[in-house]
Structure 1
Amino acid sequence: MSRYEYKWLDPARREFRLLHVLPENDQAPTDEAIEIVDLTSPVRCTVTHASLDNAPEYNALSYTWGDPGKTVTIIVDGAEFEATKNLEAGLRHLRRKDQIVTLWVDALCINQKDIPEKNVQLAQMREIYVQAKSVVAWLGPSDDNSEMAMKWIQEYGGRSYELNIGGVGGPRLISLLDGLDAPPDKPFDEKEMLFAADLREQLSPANSWHADLITSLLRMFKRAYWSRIWIVQELASASDLIFVCGKATASDNALYDALRLLRNFAQYQNLKWNAMVKETHFKRPTGVSLMSINTGGPINMLKFRRAPHAAPLIHIMRTFRFFSSTDPRDKVFALLGISRDSEILGLRADYNKTCEQVYTDAARRLIHAGYMDILGLVQFPKNIPGLQSWVPDLSRTGYRAPLQQRSLERKGAPGATRLEPKFFASAMKEKILLRRENTMGPEVTLTLSVVRVGVIKHVGLHWNHEKGVGQWLHELYRLSSLVQNTPENATHRAQAIWRVAVADQEIRQGVRKPRLADEKVHTAYETFKDTDLKDVNEKALGDVGLSYYCEWLQSVAKGRRPLLTEDGHLGIGPCEAEPGDFVFVLLGSDLPFVMRRESETPEKIRIVGESYLHGVMDGEIMERNPVIEHIELC
């Protein structure tokens, strides 16, 4: 049998292909309800062309390709087509007994070997998903007790959605759960209280089914589907969405609420366990934990779907930086269709460009637009050869936690975002627009305006998870002690250690990401001022109500090390920072950056990474009327 060959699509008519999955039984379609079947006969399909201007009714498939080396032969227009194993399983599960199923499927409906066609088709991909009657999110075949997970998601997520518990965030759920133990001032709705009681029983570690349920949910949200970059656009564009795993289904709303329940209940348990440890020496249960379930990525995917306005590219790029793609260029291309400013930035998918060109062009255009925080994604080593130091390697799926988070403005202009917590290292709240000729030309050196803070004189040990919080605090104390203290400022510097350890910020609280509260600094200092900081651990912090402080400390410390500048500024920076590196404040940036002179071309400077320096973050350096330098980055 011959191999399937594509026929040309007419871009002028905005043509695209549709895949028709033929029924198992060779009978005319009927209007009767048809069961989904899973038989062993080969999947057979036909392909037709349609125009987006007058397209027939169809559904779109959202799925992960899976291992390209594991394929199964399907029949397309009487010819053989090698589909990945996961795609073939999805088509088989969606095939009807007596009815043709019409789908748009990227791997089949786009000629992946035709670059000009691929560029055109991907540019209209968002519209393809928008026009689809529904989007079927294929999570994969039934496995790892997925039936239990899907059933729980649909039942408890569905009940939460009906009661509007998940939609109002964690505080509502926590207040309901607290109300089970202490009568509230204002009685809750009876249905809500019943749901809270059922949920607490379902997720209680004391129940026999707890380990099986949590394990099934853990494995469900570990599936590759939840970390693939193209899925973000597919879900955001769907007018109607259903999730399918094997023969089990879950609605979009049920799954979103279920994820929020799992996240918020984990936070509730964490709070309660800390209280119980303090009061009764209660020991946390061992084994699987709600905290280990990956809810962050899936929640963000579905949150973007619900956003009333499209977000800027920088926000989407930072949010989904952990996601992966088969082609590393798709870490940019997959997000252009759902960003509100890709056209303004002048970015479009072009598979004729190398990955180095795609990443460099995106970084240049974002910097030109004033989004200096793209530099916060710079980390080493880089996998893509040829990238300059200031160009983030977006192919990475592991990053340090950025020292600021970009979030949507609830009350601002549509799609507006803000960086939190609020730092003002350059004391300039307005964007610094760089000259276009200085940033846009692919061969032109990037030149930035900066103020020199100083030179790094000492560095501490890298964050070590095994040695934990105590070593991190001790290293900051050790560096701080190298500065000659007067009795007047000794207390101030000792308190500064507690701010520097977490980059002077707390874990996100609803819509806010605040700076570290004075009372928490006071509590930490007074509790441990006579303690060797090496001995401070998670339990000790939890005992005095600083569990969230400890949680954020471990997040911000990973991939970083303490540092001290020659003029006595204590801070933290990337683990690659070394004595002799410079610290600069970039005009238009909220943060200082560690940089290094290029040994071969000393007039040029390499970016090492963003940093936090105590006494610099609120524009103190700028108040001294400093000299503004212009540096060339390489």
Structure 2
Amino acid sequence: MDARQFARKIVQKVRTLSAHVGATPYSYASLDEAAREIRLMELHPGSPKDPIRVSLSITPFTSDHVPMFEALSYTWGSPKKQSTIFVGKSGCETLSITQNLAEALPYLRYEDKPRVLWIDAICVNQQDLKERGQQVKRIAEISTKATRVVARLGPESKTTARAIECFNDIASHIDVNLSTQCLIPLSDCDAPWTDLAPQQPFDEASYSAILDFISSEWFQRLWIVQEIRLSSQESVLLRGRQLVKWTLFRKVSFFLHRKLSLLNISFDLYSLLNARLMEIYPLGIRGAYPDLRYLMQATKTCKCSDPRDRVFALISLLDSPLGYGFELDYNKHFLDVYRDVHQELTPSHNFRMYAKGYRGLAPEVARSGDIITVLLGCPNPMILRATTEGFKVVGEAYCDVLMSGEALLGSLPPGFELILTFAESAGYYRRFVNSKASISQVPDPRLSQIPFPPGWRVQSHDSEEDFAKYVNDITGENSLYDPRLAPDALRQRGVEIQTFDLI
């Protein structure tokens, strides 16, 4: 370090110390909800090592007045790790922000000009629950009307550059019609990139680099579903200082989702990529969702710090009265929020008493004489109605004694219960737990004494603590489904299997 650099470093430390002396916490001015006001943050210019300085301003945000700004989408990180930024040109006031945001701001700051941003943690008074609810409901509108959304994925890794090279290579060969869900070759020579033929455009290390890129915590954050899905075509992903256009990444993620099963990669790498891509794929589809149940199912593995956000982060994506009129109130307990949503979602379902006194839920249109069935491969019991032409599907149902495979295998042994748990390699999967006996296992205890059909056995693999695989040594067939639950195997054990012709 030469004398000039040393002097510059001393001056910087003195400036930082001076800024701290006498600084007071920033006091937010109130927003006028009737005037549809929001706050915008101006990030002051500076060199990479300078303290972060910002200014906050209030502006109307209406259809007739849309200010120019970018919106930041990022992972908040732990609230226990805080950093300080300075507000105003004099820096006499301070704001506490999470360490993740503090690490992102230097990468967003220009050296020679200010930058106008909307950042939820700064532009919304997080201590004012009423304002927070009002502003959260506008995030969809803010994301849509921002000049672009900048998605901060975190610091650059050793493999980031290689992953981006792969993205650019894929995008140079294909286009995607998201409306028809089709891959389109950019030329006749690119046809192999879009057909169903096995393909190996990259080595396994490259796919590992892609996995590292899409394993950023940002992709697992619940709020990004609306922040990036509704954003402009100019939006970008930022990892360190490396940029990827969102429109390009959207094409690439669709390609990988569609072609993954055709790639010659290890099973463990395939499983991890598949789990990540299943979460990322819905982000590329623009527009509103018609059904909150579908949306909550699609985002069930996403993370949020406030349980109320399971509803609040998604409600603006709905093209329904629920999306337009639901109150976002952070003063409510999360159980009250869930109850309100449940009442909105299930007006056509009633508690029912089934034959033999079983309890459950069924559609309002269900009637006496309908039958409750457990269909192989269907996750929930279904209500069917017999007609002269076959069986009509009335709807799905809940029955307290049929939700854990009891119709096929009988009741669970005493002390056992079936739970759903999540693993990176398997997504959500079933696990059987006996807390008193300290047992937690993937195999169904009801099958422990039942032999496999000829040739079948459990196959060892790296993720066997999360899910089971089966192999037939005679035929070479592999399966993720227990062959002891196949129709023929069930019939041989005396389970009554019936075929229904659905109309």
TM-score, with normalisation over the residues of structure 1?
0.55
Partner residue of 1:250 out of 244, 250, 263: 244
Equivalent residue for 1:125, pick from 112, 136, 139: 139
Residue 20 of structure 2: aligned partner: none
Equivalent residue number for residue 425 of structure 2:
none
**How far did residue 327 of structure 1 move?**
0.6
CA shift in 2, pair 1:230/1:464, >3 Å: closer
Of the three residues 337, 358, 366, the one matched with 1:358 is 337
Whether the 8 Å contact between 1:227 and 1:323 is mirrored in structure 2 is yes
Q: Deviations over 1:561-593 (max 9, x none)?
A: xxx9xx9757xxxxxxxxxxxxxxxxxxxxxxx
How far is 1:351 from its partner?
A: 0.8
The answer to whether structure 1 residue 147 and structure 2 residue 167 are counterparts is: no
| Equivalent-residue separation in structure 1 for 2:499 and 2:61 (angstroms) | 54
Residue 233 of structure 2 corresponds to residue 220 of structure 1: no
2:79 is the alignment partner of 1:68? yes
Greater RCO between the two (CA within 8 Å, min separation 6)?
1
CA distances 1:484-538 after superposition (whole Å, capped 9, x unpaired): xxxxxxxxxxxxxxxxxxxxxxxxxxxxxxxxxxxxxxxxxxxx96x16446885
Tell me, yes or no, if structure 1 residue 93 matches structure 2 residue 107: yes
User: Is residue 471 of structure 2 the alignment partner of residue 540 of structure 1?
Assistant: yes
User: Do the aligned residues in 2 keep the contact of 1:93 with 1:246 (CA within 8 Å)?
Assistant: yes
**Distance of 1:345 and 1:458 partners within structure 2:** 44
Q: Is the 8 A contact 1:160 1:257 kept in 2?
A: no
Separation (CA, whole Å) in 1 of partners of 2:67 and 2:401: 62
Q: Percent identity?
A: 23
**C-alpha contact (below 8 Å) 2:457/2:471 kept by paired residues:** no
Alignment of 1:381-530 (within 5 A): 424-427=382-385, 429=393, 457-459=410-412, 475=447, 478=450
Distance 1:544 1:233, change over 3 A: farther
8 A Cα contact 1:22 1:45, kept in partner: yes
Q: How has the CA–CA distance of structure 1 residues 66 and 313 changed in structure 2, closer, same or farther, with 3 Å as cutoff?
A: same
Aligned to 1:498: none
Query: Which runs of no fewer than 5 residues in structure 1 stay unpaired?
Result: 25-37, 177-187, 205-209, 271-283, 373-388, 391-402, 405-418, 433-447, 480-527, 558-563, 571-613, 620-634
Partners of 2:130 and 2:301 in 1: how far apart?
29
User: In the aligned structure 1, how far is the partner of 2:474 from the partner of 2:227?
Assistant: 45
Mark the CA change 1:96 to 1:362 in structure 2 (over 3 Å): closer, same or farther.
Answer: same
Residues 474 and 420 of structure 1: is their aligned pair in 2 closer, same or farther, counting only changes over 3 Å?
closer
TM-fit CA distance, 1:330: 0.3
Pair 1:359–1:451, CA change in 2 (3 A): closer
Q: Give the Å deviation of 1:266.
A: 2.8
Alpha-carbon distance, 1:228 to partner: 1.0
In the alignment, structure 1 residue 17 sits paired with structure 2 residue 36:
no
Contact between 1:23 and 1:97, CA under 8 Å: does it hold in 2?
yes
Shift of 1:60: 0.9
**Is the aligned partner of 1:297 residue 2:279?**
yes
Is the counterpart of residue 310 in structure 1 residue 289 in structure 2? Answer: yes
Q: What amino acid maps onto 2:239 in structure 1?
A: C
Inter-partner Cα distance in structure 1 for 2:210 and 2:259: 14
1:159 aligns with 2:181: no
Residues 243 and 252, structure 1, Cα contact 8 Å, conserved in 2: yes
**Change in CA separation of 1:143 and 1:533 when aligned onto 2, cut-off 3 Å:** closer
Conserved in 2, the CA contact under 8 Å of 1:423 and 1:617? no
Q: Tell me if structure 1 keeps the 8 A contact 2:257–2:281.
A: no
Q: Is the 8 A contact 2:458 2:470 kept in 1?
A: no
The structure whose residues are more often helix, as a share, is 1
Measure the CA separation in 2 of the matches of 1:170 and 1:267.
16
Q: 1:457 to 1:95 in 2, by over 3 A?
A: closer
Find the partner of 1:105 among 108, 119, 127. Answer: 119
Distance in 2 between residues matched to 1:542 and 1:237, nearest whole Å:
50
Helix, strand or coil: the match of 1:298? helix
Structure-2 separation of matches of 1:536 and 1:113? 53
Q: Is the 8 A contact 2:51 2:85 kept in 1?
A: yes
State whether residues 19 and 102 of structure 1, in contact with CA within 8 Å, keep that contact through their aligned partners in structure 2.
yes
TM-fit CA distance, 1:362: 1.5
Q: Using a 3 Å threshold, how does the CA distance of structure 1 residues 544 and 359 change in structure 2: closer, same or farther? A: farther
What is residue 336 of structure 1 aligned with on the other side? 315
Counterparts of 1:96 and 1:111, CA distance in 2: 25
- Mapped to 2, the partners of 1:99 and 1:473 lie a distance apart of 66
Could you tell me which amino acid in structure 1 is paired with residue 57 of structure 2?
T
Alignment of 1:363-378 (within 5 A): 363-369=342-348
Any conservation in 1 of the 2:42–2:115 contact (CA below 8 Å)?
yes
Distance 1:568 1:358, change over 3 A: farther
Alpha-carbon separation, structure 2, partners of 1:43 and 1:151: 32
Task: Determine if contact 1:166/1:261 at 8 Å carries over to the other structure.
Answer: no
Q: Which residue of 2 aligns with 1:40?
A: 49
Note if contact 1:424-1:617 (Cα within 8 Å) is conserved in structure 2.
no
Cα distance per residue 1:542-577 (max 9 Å; x no partner): 985855xx24x27xx9xxxxxx9xx9757xxxxxxx
Instruction: Rate the CA distance shift 1:66–1:160 in 2: closer, same or farther, 3 A.
Output: farther
1:114 match: 128
Equivalent residue for 1:56, pick from 43, 52, 67: 67
Distance 1:264 1:472, change over 3 A: farther
Match 1:134 to one of 128, 139, 148:
148
Shift in Å at residue 133 of structure 1? Answer: 1.1
* Deviation per residue, 1:261-317 (Å, 9 max, x gap): 3333430136xxxxxxxxxxxxx758x6243221111112223xx24x533111101
Shift of 1:320: 0.5
> What is the distance in 2 between the residues matched to 1:201 and 1:297?
23
Task: Give the whole-Å Cα distance in 1 for the aligned partners of 2:254 and 2:277.
Answer: 8
Question: 1:357 and 1:40, CA in 2 relative to 1: closer, same or farther beyond 3 A?
Answer: same
Q: Contact conserved, 2:41 with 2:122, CA < 8 A, in 1?
A: yes
2:222–2:304: 8 Å Cα contact kept in structure 1?
A: yes
8 Å CA contact 1:233–1:335 kept in 2: the answer is yes
Separation (CA, whole Å) in 2 of partners of 1:50 and 1:127: 15
> Which secondary structure does the structure 1 equivalent of 2:83 belong to?
strand
Match of 1:190 in 2: 189
Q: 1:70 to 1:147 in 2, by over 3 A?
A: farther
TM-score, normalised to structure 2, is: 0.68
Contact 1:473 1:533 in 2 (8 A): no
1:258 & 1:542 partners in 2: Cα distance?
Answer: 38
> Is the strand fraction higher in 1 or 2?
2
Unpaired segments of 5 or more residues in structure 2?
1-22, 352-359, 362-373, 386-391, 419-429, 433-441, 461-468
Give the 3 Å change call, closer, same or farther, for CA 108–371 of structure 1 in structure 2. farther
Residue 158 of structure 1 deviates from its aligned partner by 2.1
RMSD: 4.5
Does the residue aligned with 1:215 lie in a helix, a strand or coil?
helix
Counterpart Cα distance in 2 of 1:12 and 1:221: 41
Distance 1:344 1:201 in 2: 43
CA shift digits 1:170-214 (9 cap, x unpaired): 8889xx9xxxxxxxxxxx812444899xx955423xxxxx32x23
Contact 1:260 1:299 in 2 (8 A): yes
Please state if 1:231 is matched with 2:224: yes
Q: Is the 8 A contact 1:60 1:135 kept in 2?
A: yes
Q: Deviation at 1:342?
A: 5.0
Q: For the residues of structure 2 that align with 1:369 and 1:172, how far apart are their CA atoms?
A: 42
Letter of the structure 2 residue corresponding to residue 317 of structure 1: M
